Amino acid sequence: MAPSIQLASPPRRDKISNADQQARSNRGQPLEAPQLERESGRNLELIWLLKGLKPGYRTIANFRKENWKALKAANRSFVLLARELGLVGGTIVAIDGSLFHGDASKASIFTRKRLGEQIARLDQEIEAYRKSVEDNDAAEAKKPGKDRADGDGRGDGGDIAAKVAALMAKRSRAEADLARLEESGETQMSLTDPDARLLVKNGQGIAGYNVQTAVDDKHKLIVASEVVNDSSDVRQLSAMAKAAKKALGAETLQALADEGYYSSVELKACEDEGIIAYVPLPEGSARLEKQGRFALKDFNYDGATDTYRCPAGQPLHPFKSRQKNTSGRIEIRYAARVAICRSCPLKVRCLSPTTTYRTIGRWEHEDVLERHRARMQGAGELMRRRSGIVEHPFGTLKCRAGYRHFLVRGFDKVRGEWSLMALCYNFTRALNILGFDGFLAALAKRLAVCQCIFAALLQHILVAPEPLWTNIRPPLQIGRFVPA
Ligand code: SF4
């Protein structure tokens, strides 16, 4: 049972015709729970599959919400099956992320800035009411006694008091939300789906989640995936690559990602796990190159003397002290001599207008980045393949299946729903690659191998020496089968 899709103008549930359902089903689009309920009483294949059970739409919807663990496990198992069937290459994966809408609106998610603005706006409204009451009082006071309003002298003061009270209550709620947000240490708070966040990527802003996938190069199957609520991909590379390596059972793995994943710490984490990562270098050095200035790659490091050689052939020596940079990395700074830089004919291409000598920061694990830079020199073809590999699943799920929204709330359920969608994608892909008969034949073949292994194991157990039976039979409480 697949989660439903959200269309731009969703049809009323009770108005969806059988023809619509059939058309959706034919297009491979997931059906909503009420549609699945109807199909369970109409579609002969489904009636057979469910052995005549006709679950209500609420049962179907709850099944998806309550069985997130099983859905994730089923997805993992299918990747193992794909390995068994030779559908994955296991040497190259491409990693990417895509934003999916959550079951929350943008208006239901608050940031500190937004709450602050709301409180300021409410203060202004309250102040405006207070002023209008004062102006009203002053005008009333100027009138002759017989023309003054009765009661408290405020005309429609009762209405205004109620409005001010409502605004004050709203302000108290906003202040309480702000206090809760600050106490939690989070940057955002969602009033509907607690884990959905306002995310922005490539100019696209949504309230929802960032789905990360690692896709195998051979047949573009999703071998690992995760749902996070961080807009940025910069902290996701090693976790995704490690998950893919584990799922593929590979000794080593090449992981391709776009420049949004570039992080020195993540590259090191990959290398520590035997993962060879390919991530384009960020704009930082490209910016210097565009300005016609020497970038880090123009300086050669000599490990024997622990110095850099600049393009003019002059040495840059290290400072003794170590510094922690803004991202927490420990760096050693190397500097050229002021006198040499001052008289250098290349200084226009090397120094910024405000500096008199060149310095370079070297991360304590810079050798990791040097190896990565060297790899990227000849990785043009690999990087061209990257987008073709990883964008296939997202393109298929978003454009063909129309799946862009999560229908459940909270990380556990959302991850379960995503696992179901990844499983549907992988299963459809396996059927497309092998064909239905081919898929069944491959399964039967694997089953036969398993049966052979099981039969061989059984044979070994049957001919096991009597002392073994004497030792293991009592604790396991088993009897020995003696063939006729
Ligand atoms: S300015 Fe200094 S560091 Fe730069 S190339 Fe000239 S000598 Fe080397």
Q: List the CATH number of the domain containing 210.
A: 3.30.420
- Taking the C-alpha atoms of residue 161 and residue 132, their distance in angstroms, rounded to an integer, is 11
- Would residue 79 count as lying in a domain? no
pTM of the model: 0.76
351 within ligand 1 shell (Cβ under 6 A): yes
361 and 379: one domain?
no
Cα–ligand 1 centroid distance for 316 (angstroms): 9
Query: Domain range holding 241?
Result: 92-98+197-282+374-429
- Would residue 80 count as lying in a domain? no
Q: Is 188 left (phi over 0), alpha (psi -120 to 50) or beta?
A: beta
Cα–ligand 1 centroid distance for 153 (angstroms): 82
67 within ligand 1 shell (Cβ under 6 A): no
- Taking the C-alpha atoms of residue 442 and residue 435, their distance in angstroms, rounded to an integer, is 10
Q: Which residues of 28-42 are buried (b: 16+ CB within 10 A; e: fewer)?
A: ebbbbbbbbbbbbee
Q: Which atom of ligand 1 is nearest to the CA of 337?
A: 2
The residue whose CA has the least distance to atom 4 of ligand 1 is 350
Outline where DSSP puts E strands in 239-356.
Answer: 253-257, 275-278, 300-302, 307-309, 315-324, 330-335
Please give the average per-residue pLDDT across 399-409, as a whole number. 90
Last residue of a domain, one of 365, 384, 403: 365
Quick one: pLDDT at residue 158?
A: 66
Q: Which atom of ligand 1 is nearest to the CA of 336?
A: 3
214 and 186: one domain?
no
- 203-230 pLDDT per residue, tens: 888 999 999 999 999 999 999 999 999 9
Quick one: pLDDT at residue 466?
A: 63
Quick one: pLDDT at residue 121?
A: 93
Structural contact between residues 266 and 237, judged by C-beta atoms closer than 8 angstroms = yes
314 within ligand 1 shell (Cβ under 6 A): yes
Cα–ligand 1 centroid distance for 409 (angstroms): 57
168 and 114: one domain?
yes
Please give the average per-residue pLDDT across 229-250, as a whole number. 95
Quick one: pLDDT at residue 480?
A: 47
405 and 258: one domain?
yes
27 and 171: one domain?
no
Please give the average per-residue pLDDT across 381-386, as a whole number. 93
347 within ligand 1 shell (Cβ under 6 A): yes
Please give the average per-residue pLDDT across 385-404, as a whole number. 91
Tell me: pLDDT of 364 over 80.
yes
Q: Which atom of ligand 1 is nearest to the CA of 340?
A: 7
Token reading at 336: 């050229």
pLDDT band at 11 (very low <50, low <70, confident <90, very high): very low
156 and 19: one domain?
no
Rg (the chain; Cα; Å): 33
Which one, of 135, 138, 139, 128, lies nearest residue 164 by Cα?
128
Poorest-pLDDT segment among 82-86, 105-109, 426-430, 475-479: 475-479
- Taking the C-alpha atoms of residue 442 and residue 424, their distance in angstroms, rounded to an integer, is 19
- 148-165 pLDDT per residue, tens: 655 444 455 667 778 888
Cα–ligand 1 centroid distance for 336 (angstroms): 7
Neighbours of 178 (CB within 10 A): 18
pLDDT band at 143 (very low <50, low <70, confident <90, very high): confident
Q: Which atom of ligand 1 is nearest to the CA of 351?
A: 1
Quick one: pLDDT at residue 61?
A: 85
- Taking the C-alpha atoms of residue 212 and residue 6, their distance in angstroms, rounded to an integer, is 21
- Would residue 333 count as lying in a domain? yes
Quick one: pLDDT at residue 4?
A: 40
202 and 275: one domain?
yes
Poorest-pLDDT segment among 55-59, 128-132, 262-266, 476-480: 476-480
Q: Which helix (H) or strand (E) holds 370?
A: helix 366-377
- Would residue 84 count as lying in a domain? no
Please give the average per-residue pLDDT across 38-53, as a whole number. 90
Q: Where are the alpha helices (DSSP H) in 143-222?
A: 157-184
Cα–ligand 1 centroid distance for 265 (angstroms): 29
- Taking the C-alpha atoms of residue 187 and residue 192, their distance in angstroms, rounded to an integer, is 16
Structural contact between residues 114 and 187, judged by C-beta atoms closer than 8 angstroms = no
Quick one: pLDDT at residue 27?
A: 46
Q: Which atom of ligand 1 is nearest to the CA of 313?
A: 8
Please give the average per-residue pLDDT across 441-461, as a whole number. 73
Choosing from 340, 342, 348, 354 the residue with most ligand 1 atoms within 8 A of its CB, the one to mutate for a pocket test is: 340
Q: Are strands 253-257 and 330-335 parallel, antiparallel or unpaired?
A: unpaired
149 and 26: one domain?
no
Tell me: pLDDT of 199 over 60.
yes
404 and 469: one domain?
no
Backbone angles phi, psi at 474, to 5 degrees: -60, -50
Tell me: pLDDT of 137 over 70.
yes
- Would residue 77 count as lying in a domain? no
Quick one: pLDDT at residue 134?
A: 82
304 and 446: one domain?
no
What is residue 446's DSSP assignment? H
Total residue length of the chain: 484
Tell me: pLDDT of 20 over 90.
no
What is residue 297's DSSP assignment? G
Cα–ligand 1 centroid distance for 376 (angstroms): 26
Last residue of a domain, one of 315, 347, 365: 365
Cα–ligand 1 centroid distance for 477 (angstroms): 81
Quick one: pLDDT at residue 481?
A: 46
Last residue of a domain, one of 170, 190, 210: 190
Tell me: pLDDT of 271 over 80.
yes
Choosing from 347, 348, 354 the residue with most ligand 1 atoms within 8 A of its CB, the one to mutate for a pocket test is: 347
Q: Which residue has the tokens 């240490």?
A: 185
Cα–ligand 1 centroid distance for 208 (angstroms): 49
For the chain, what is the domain count? 5
Q: Residue 118's beta-bridge partner residues?
A: none
241 and 355: one domain?
no
Backbone angles phi, psi at 83, to 5 degrees: -65, -45
- Would residue 83 count as lying in a domain? no
Quick one: pLDDT at residue 164?
A: 85
Q: Torsion angle of alpha carbons 426, 429, 430, 435, nearest 10°?
A: 150
273 and 416: one domain?
yes
Quick one: what percent of the chain has pLDDT higher than 70? Answer: 83
Quick one: pLDDT at residue 79?
A: 94
Poorest-pLDDT segment among 299-313, 321-335, 457-471: 457-471
Q: Ranked by mean pLDDT, which of 3-17, 205-219, 280-294 comes out on top?
A: 205-219
The residue whose CA has the least distance to atom 7 of ligand 1 is 341
- Would residue 25 count as lying in a domain? yes
- In terms of C-beta distances under 8 Å and separation of at least 24 residues, what long-range contacts does 155-162 make, across chains too? 157/133, 160/129, 160/132, 160/133
360 within ligand 1 shell (Cβ under 6 A): no
Q: What's the mean pLDDT when you consider all of the chain? A: 84
- Would residue 60 count as lying in a domain? yes
Cα–ligand 1 centroid distance for 284 (angstroms): 20
The residue whose CA has the least distance to atom 5 of ligand 1 is 312
Please give the average per-residue pLDDT across 164-169, as a whole number. 89
Cα–ligand 1 centroid distance for 378 (angstroms): 28
The residue whose CA has the least distance to atom 2 of ligand 1 is 341
